[in-house]
Chains A and B, each alone.
Chain A
Amino acid sequence: MKTIEVRVERIISAPPDEVFDAWLDPGVPGNPWNAAEKVVLDAKVDGLFYWNLSGISHYGRFTGMERPHRMEHTWVSPNTLGMESTVTVTFEKKGEDTRMTLVHSGLPDTEEAKGHEKGWNYFLDVLREQFGSGSRRNYCWDEAHPEGK
Chain B
Amino acid sequence: MEADTMMDKVAPIEIAQPQEASKSAAGREVVFETRDLGVLYGKSPAVMGVSLSIYQNLVTAIIGPSGCGKSTFLRSLNRMNDLVSGARIDGEVLYHGQDIYSDGVDPVEVRRRIGMVFQKPNPFPKSIYDNVAWGLRVLGMKDNLDDRVERALTQAAIWDEVKDRLKKGAYGLSGGQQQRLCIARAIAVEPDVVLLDEPASALDPIATSKIEDLMHDLKNEYTLVIVTHNMQQAARVADMTAFFSLERTETGGHGLLVEYDETSKIFTQPTDKRTEGYVTGRFG
State yes or no: do A and B come from one complex. no
Chain A residues close to B by CB (< 8 Å): none
Chain B residues close to A by CB (< 8 Å): none
